[in-house]
Amino acid sequence: MTSQFLQLFENDLLALLPEVFLITSAIILLMYGVIWSTSQAHGYPILITNVGWLSLFVLSVAGLLVLHNPITTMVVLYNSLVVDQFSTLLKVVVLLSAFCSICISFEYFADERINAFEYIVLLLLSTCSMLLMVSSYDLISMYLAIEFQSLCFYVIAASKRTSEFSTEAGLKYFVLGAFSSGILLFGCSLLYGFTGVTNFEDLAKIFTGYAELPMLTSSGILIALIFLAVGFLFKITAAPFHMWAPDVYEGAPTCVTAFFAITPKVAVLGMFLRLFFSSFYDLMGPWQKIIVLCSLASMIVGALGAISQTKIKRLLAYSSIGHVGYLLIGFACGSVEGVQALLLYLIIYVIMTVNMFSAVLSLRTQGEGLRVKYLSDLSGLSRSNPILAFTLTMTLFSMAGIPPLAGFCSKFYVFFAALGSSMYVLAVVGVLTSVLSCFYYIRLVKVMYFETPHVWVSYAPMDKEKAVLLGLTLFFTMFFFVYPSPLFLLTHEIALSICL
């Protein structure tokens, strides 16, 4: 009996080895942390840095497992999860971005005297949930993975209990997140009610050629689709549903904001890409309209909203809303180029954001350790920390999409895809908002380079991890243009695998 059981699930376990490993190690780290941090014999040690380093090790092993998984394409666990090239790529990106965002927050923990190793464990668990999201192949597993991730996020957003902002951010995030999950769940249940299936593949079979049969088009299905799309757009902070993002970004501790900004977009976009492209491909008419509208709205809100911001984190929040708009252009195209553009944009966005946040996290004053909060605090940075100012400038120009930096390549390919599928309005609005958004990106450059500060601030030196990451990402941003073909080919292959 036992051996038969093992045989039945042998391949399943193999295919899900990274997730299993991640969960197990998270539990082991939790136990380790609980036991040692409450140990009187060792003087109640503060374990966050220790657990953090161990988690980095765990993440890299998980990354290796993902890359060297013997099973590359398979549907596992009674059709509820899938492993394929697409999920493998996204898993690697998720793990890498989680790695980077833990890497850049060590000094923050030490500096803010955060004594909660659970934070790291929660990050690991949410990373694991994102791996599951990326490979979910069923409405139920999808919803469960989302909830798993969101719960972890609610907790870490409110993790700084002494700060009012953090608690408020956590509360706001919880209320709106739970609300959007509710909407998503209602969409799922409607879909199940009208079709009787929850599996992506079965849904795809039902909806094949669906649009050609107008008498069969049920309004219930359309409503379900809208609810699903709204839930999805909530999760990636697309524009009409973006209201929580600036507050949460600002209120949450900066390292948490970095994690929010970098990681979840990859997983959520990946999951919905699979759902919309494999299951609802023939219903593209309706969902494309929604995505197009949200993309337009996000680009405009991102460009206009950030202009009058004075705080760095809020500015970054609006900037990320704008970037979501561009990502959604790729989504809305519904073509291979569109998916490729989205993946390319996603990867470059992650790298630029890692750079941005490691710079922002490293800016704290010598002595009091006050963190930079307002844009005007950056004035004179070009004189006090010229290399950091240069790095930040390049990243900002890249985010604005000025050639020949990496950000331009991604934007260019998005517009390429948009024009390829005749989305002229999206392309024109995208181009114009990218010029508008230049205003605020350049404003930061102006503050750093041209303004003389009223009070000179000397910043504490940054630690090695951040310095290495900053260097690597800057190198990528500046020189991606010289030899873009590997990433292009890779994303092209993955896009083909999801679309065909």
Partner 1 sequence: MHEKVMIMTQSSLLPFVLLSPLVGSVVLLFVPSWRVRTIKSIALCTSVITFLASLFLWVFFNSSLSKFQFMYTFDWLPLSNIQCTLGIDGISLFFVLLTTFLTPICILTGWMSVTKYVREYTIAFLVMESLTIAVFCMLDLLLFYVFFESVLIPMFVIIGVWGSRERKIRAAYQFFIYTLFGSVLMLLAILLIYFQAGTTDLHILLATEFSERRQILLWLAFFASFAVKVPMVPVHIWLPEAHVEAPTAGSVVLAGIMLKLGTYGFLRFSIPMFPEATLYFTPLIYTMSVIGVMYASLTTVRQIDMKKIIAYSSVAHMAFVTLGLFSLNVQGIEGALLLMLSHGLVSGALFLCVGVLYDRHKTRLVKYYGGCVHTMPVFAVLFLFFTMGNISLPGTSSFIGEFLVLLGVFQSNTFITVLAATGMVLGGAYSLWLYNRVVFGTFKPSYLSTFSDVNRREFFVFLPFVVGVLWMGLYPEVFLDPMHASVSTIVQHGKFS
Residues at the site binding partner 1, with contacts judged by CB under 8 A: 382, 386, 397, 402-404, 408, 412, 415-416, 419-420, 427-428, 431-432, 434-435, 438-439, 442, 445-446, 449-450, 481, 484-485, 488-489, 492
Instruction: Give the shortest CB-445-to-partner 1 separation in angstroms.
Output: 8
Whichever of 196 and 486 has its CB closer to partner 1, that residue is 486
Residue 295 CA, distance from chain mean position: 17
Contacts with 204 (C-beta within 8 Å, 6 or more apart), sequence order: 278, 279, 281
Instruction: Give the shortest CB-412-to-partner 1 separation in angstroms.
Output: 7
Whichever of 24 and 422 has its CB closer to partner 1, that residue is 422
Separation of alpha carbons 313 and 381, rounded Å: 17
Phi, psi of 452, rounded to the nearest 5 degrees: -100, 130
Residue 338 CA, distance from chain mean position: 18
Whichever of 40 and 452 has its CB closer to partner 1, that residue is 452
Whichever of 95 and 447 has its CB closer to partner 1, that residue is 447
Whichever of 298 and 434 has its CB closer to partner 1, that residue is 434
Whichever of 240 and 403 has its CB closer to partner 1, that residue is 403
From residue 334, give the alpha-carbon distance in Å to each of 274, 277, 422, 478: 12, 8, 11, 30
Name the token pair of 135. Answer: 């490979």
76 DSSP β-pair partners: 81
Query: CA quadruple 285, 290, 296, 298: dihedral positive or negative?
Result: negative
Instruction: Give the shortest CB-465-to-partner 1 separation in angstroms.
Output: 23
Whichever of 177 and 380 has its CB closer to partner 1, that residue is 380
Instruction: Give the shortest CB-491-to-partner 1 separation in angstroms.
Output: 11
Separation of alpha carbons 203 and 191, rounded Å: 9
Whichever of 190 and 352 has its CB closer to partner 1, that residue is 352
B/e letters for 440-458, b = 16+ CB within 10 Å, e = fewer, are bbbbbbebbbeeeeeeebe
Query: CA quadruple 404, 410, 416, 419: dihedral positive or negative?
Result: negative
Whichever of 281 and 481 has its CB closer to partner 1, that residue is 481
Whichever of 5 and 450 has its CB closer to partner 1, that residue is 450
Within 13 Å, how many C-alpha atoms sit on residue 405's CB side? 22
368: exposed, middle or buried (Cβ count in 10 Å: 0-12, 13-18, 19+) = exposed
Instruction: Give the shortest CB-435-to-partner 1 separation in angstroms.
Output: 5
Whichever of 370 and 489 has its CB closer to partner 1, that residue is 489
Question: Strand ranges (DSSP E) for 225-270?
Answer: none
Instruction: Give the shortest CB-438-to-partner 1 separation in angstroms.
Output: 6
- Among 292, 271, 259, smallest CA distance to 127 is for 259
Contacts with 426 (C-beta within 8 Å, 6 or more apart), sequence order: 292, 295, 296, 329, 332, 418
Q: Percent helix, strand, coil in the chain (nearest 5)?
A: 80, 5, 20
Residues 392, 441: contact at Cβ < 8 Å?
A: no
Phi, psi of 236, rounded to the nearest 5 degrees: -100, 15
Instruction: Give the shortest CB-248-to-partner 1 separation in angstroms.
Output: 31
Instruction: Give the shortest CB-449-to-partner 1 separation in angstroms.
Output: 6
Instruction: Give the shortest CB-301-to-partner 1 separation in angstroms.
Output: 19
Name the token pair of 250. Answer: 């600002």
Residues 406, 351: contact at Cβ < 8 Å?
A: yes
Instruction: Give the shortest CB-313-to-partner 1 separation in angstroms.
Output: 24
Residue type, 159: S
